[in-house]
Amino acid sequence: MSERSIKLTSFGYLHLDQDAEGRPVPPQADRIEDVRDRLRDPAAARDILDLDGLNPRVQDVVLATPGARELLDNLTAYAQLPAGPRHIAIGCAGGRHRASGLTELLARNLREQGLGVEVEHLHVHLPRVLNTPTG
Instruction: Express each pLDDT in 73-107 by its tens digit.
Output: 999 999 999 888 999 999 999 999 999 999 999 99
Residue 50 included in any domain:
yes
Residue 55 included in any domain:
yes
* Average of per-residue pLDDT across 103-118: 96
Residue 130 included in any domain:
no
Number of domains in the chain: 1
Residue 132 included in any domain:
no
Residue 61 included in any domain:
yes
pLDDT at position 135 is: 41
Query: Which residue range(s) make up the domain with 86?
Result: 5-121
- Centroid of chain to Cα 11: 7
For residue 81, what are the contacts with CB-CB under 8 A and spacing of at least 6? none
Residue pair 119/11 in contact (Cβ under 8 Å)? The answer is no
pLDDT digits (tens, 9 = 90+) for 21-76: 999 999 999 999 999 999 988 767 778 888 999 999 999 999 999 999 999 999 99
pTM (2 decimals)? 0.91
